Amino acid sequence: MSVLLFLQNCRIHLKVILIVLISLIYNALIQHHFDYDSCGKTLSDRLQKLQNRAARVLTSSSYDADANSKIHQLRWKDLCTQRQIQKALIGHKSLNGPAPKYLSSKFVKREDSVNKLDVLVPRTNYLRNSL
């Protein structure tokens, strides 16, 4: 009886380890491609659907399972939230120095407040929505 219980515990732990390992591989190889916001609304929705599908695959869920719960189970953020975090990180880095010069030159500190930025207006329409 104890051998059967041991094998069941090993199976549960193996499943958890497998989910963690696959999630690490996903975060290392795929997630950073979703962080850029230079795409339109339609493409952004398609990328969110792709992330939802990836969450279902990694958790071995059916196609009609709720994707938000699976994303929460994997401790991911949806793409909109992740992009907002990336924008905030870029702003923070440009204010506090660790950003490269070419990126810091895109922001101007406002004189009337402490931590507010003015983003310089691009001269062309190319990548206008990237920041």
Backbone CA torsion sign across 72, 78, 81, 85: positive
pLDDT for 57-91, tens place per residue?
888 888 888 988 988 888 888 888 888 888 888 77
pLDDT at 91: 77
pTM beyond cutoff 0.85: no
- Residue spans of the domains in the chain: they are 77-123
- Residue 114, burial from CB neighbour count under 10 angstroms (0-12, 13-18, 19+): exposed
Q: In the chain, how long is the greatest CA-to-CA distance?
A: 74
pLDDT along the chain (131 residues), means of 10: 62 73 81 72 84 85 88 85 82 77 72 64 64 54
- Taking alpha carbons only, the member of 81, 88, 82, 126 closest to residue 107 is 88
Q: 71 and 55 in contact (C-beta within 8 Å)?
A: yes
Token couple for 25: 């591989």
pLDDT at 115: 62
Cα distance between the two ends of the chain: 61
